[in-house]
Amino acid sequence: MQKDNKIWDVIVIGGGASGMMAGVVSARRGKSVIILEKNKKLGEKLKITGGGRCNITNAEYDIHKFLEHYGKSKDFLFSPFSIFGVEDTFKFFESLGLPLVIEARKRAFPKSEKAYDVYDALKKELEKNKATIKTNIIVTKFIIINEKVVGVKTTDGSYFAKSFVLATGGLSHPETGSTGDGFRFLKDLGHKIEKPNPSVVPLEVSDKWVHELSGVTLSFMKITFYLDGKKQFSKTGKILFTHFGLSGPLILNSASYVGSLLQAGRVDAFIDAYPDTTLGDLEDKIVKIFDKNKNKILKNILKEIVPDGMTKAFEILIDKDILETKVHSIKKDDRKAIVLLLKNLKVHITNLMGYDRAVVVDGGLVLTEVNLKTMQSKIFDNLFITGDLLNINRQSGGFGLQICWTTGYIAGTNA
C-alpha cells in the first residue's frame, strides 16, 4: 500500500540525536523532510543522557587532541570534524537559544543542566523549519528499485523520497527505541556490520561487599587491573559502587580494555582507597586513631578509619572476632592487615554489563563503506548514515553525542 503519492526530499528514519540534527539541517535548506520515529516522542535516549543533564560535547578545540578519544576510528574522522566540529556545535546550540557551560574534564552541558532542553530546542527548530514529524511508526524495510533506494515500508504503509537518512541508533538502552533495526537494514542492503559489543559500560563484580555498598561513591581512589595475576593498568579518580558491581566515568572508560582482558583470562582489580597516602603514613594515621580510642571495639571506630560510606564493606571484610575486639587488644599483625586492606581491596571482575546498561555499544557500519565527507553509503548514494550506527569507538565525556551532531549535520547538508 502506498501511503500517499508524495515523494519527500528527505526521509529521516529515527528521531534521536543524529536524526533530529539531520532533519533540522535538511529542513533549513528548504527540503521537504519527514522524520519517522518508532516511539511516541522523539529523542528518548537524548533525554536521559548525562544523567538527565546531557553532556552535549567536549570543549577540546584542538581537533587532533579531540580525535584521540575515538581510538582506532580517529584516522577516519578528521574530514567530518573539519566540516562540523566542536566549535560549530557550540555555535549551533547557542543559535537555538541553548547556551552551554564547560565543567571538569572539558565536558560541556546546557547551562540549564537539562537534557530535555536539548531535545526541546531541536524539536522546536524542526517545527520552525516545517519538518514533518511522524511518531508511533516503525520502519520495517527499504524499498529498492533498479538498485536505488526509493522508499521504506512501515507499520503505516510505504513512504517515498529522493534521499534517506538512516539514524536508528545502536543497541545501548534498547528501551529508548534503539533495538538494532538499522544494523539489520544495512546488512540486508549489502553493508558490512562489525559485531556490536557494549564498550562504555559498568563492570560486573562477584564480591558481596561491593554489592553492599550500592550507591556509595569513592571520590578519589586508584584501581589497578590484573590479568591472571599479572598487572595490566591503573586509573585514579572517582568510582561508583552499584548492586551489580562498579560504575562511574573512570570505570566506564576502562571497560573496553577490561572486556579484552576478560577474553584472555581471570580479571581481578585492587582498589587503593588512599592513593595519595603511603602505606607507612596510613599506618601512622591508624595507630594514632587506635591510641585515641583504646577502649572502644574496632567496629565502633571503623568510620574514622575507612573512607565515607565504606564501613559496611569493612564489616564484611574484617574478621568478626577482630571487629568485636577492643582496639588496645588488637594484635600488631591484624592492624597491619587492616592497613594493607585499605590499600588493596580485591574485587573479581566477572563480566561487562550488557546492552541495557551500556552508554556506548561499539560495532556497526564499517567506516570504509561510508563517504565521511557526505555520510553517503558507498552502495546507495541516496542513503546517508549517522550516529551510533557507525562503527566508531567512543569514550564517555561528550564524545558520543558529538559524533551525532557532526554526522547528522553532514547528512542533513547532503541529503
Ligand X SMILES: Cc1cc2nc3c(=O)[nH]c(=O)nc-3n(C[C@H](O)[C@H](O)[C@H](O)COP(=O)(O)OP(=O)(O)OC[C@H]3O[C@@H](n4cnc5c(N)ncnc54)[C@H](O)[C@@H]3O)c2cc1C
Residues that bind ligand X (CB under 6 A): 13-19, 36-39, 44-46, 48-50, 54-55, 138-139, 167-169, 172-173, 176-178, 181, 359, 387-388, 398-401, 404
C-alpha of 363 from chain center: 14
Shortest distance (Å) from residue 41 CB to ligand X: 9
- Least Å distance, CB 404 to ligand X, is 5
- Return the C-alpha cell found at 8: 519527500
Q: How far is the CB of 366 from ligand X (least distance, A)?
A: 16
CB of 103 to ligand X, least distance (A): 11
Minimum distance of ligand X from residue 86's CB (angstroms) = 12
Pick between residue 110 and residue 307 the one whose CB is nearest to ligand X: 110
Nearer of residues 342 and 372 to ligand X, judged by Cβ: 372
Nearest approach in angstroms of CB 363 to ligand X is: 13
Q: Closest CB to ligand X among 117 and 181?
A: 181
Evaluate whether 244 touches 202 at the Cβ level (below 8 Å). yes
Instruction: Compare residues 168 and 247 and give the one whose CB is closer to ligand X.
Output: 168
Nearest by Cα to 55 from 410, 405, 408:
405
Report in angstroms how near the CB of residue 119 gets to ligand X at its nearest: 10
Q: How far apart are CA 401 and CA 398, in angstroms?
A: 6
User: Among 188, 177, 180, 193, which Cα is nearest to 142's?
Assistant: 188
Q: How far is the CB of 357 from ligand X (least distance, A)?
A: 8
R_g of the chain, CA atoms, integer Å: 26
Instruction: Report residue 276: phi and psi, to 5°.
Output: -95, 10
In this complex, which beta carbon is closest to ligand X, that of residue 238 or of residue 288?
238
User: 3-class DSSP state for residue 395?
Assistant: coil
Which residue lies nearer to ligand X by CB, 181 or 207? 181
Quote the least distance from Cβ 154 to ligand X, whole Å: 7
The helix/strand/coil state of 42 is coil
Phi, psi angle pair for 172, to nearest 5°: -75, 140
Name, in order, each residue with C-beta under 8 angstroms of 377's C-beta and a sequence gap of 6 or more: 189, 191, 369, 370, 383, 384, 385
**Nearest residue (CB) to ligand X, 164 versus 209:** 164
Whole-angstrom distance, CA of residue 361 vs CA of residue 171: 6
Contact 297, 323 (CB under 8 A): yes
Choose between 311 and 374: whose C-beta lies nearer to ligand X: 374
Calculate the CA 89 to chain-centre distance.
Answer: 19
**What is the pairing mode between strands 383-385 and 157-166?**
parallel
* Residue 311 phi, psi (nearest 5): -60, -40
Determine whether 12 is exposed, middle or buried from the number of CB atoms within 10 Å of its CB (0-12, 13-18, 19+): buried
Q: By C-beta, is 17 or 210 nearer to ligand X?
A: 17
Residue 2's CB: how many other CB atoms inside 10 A? 10
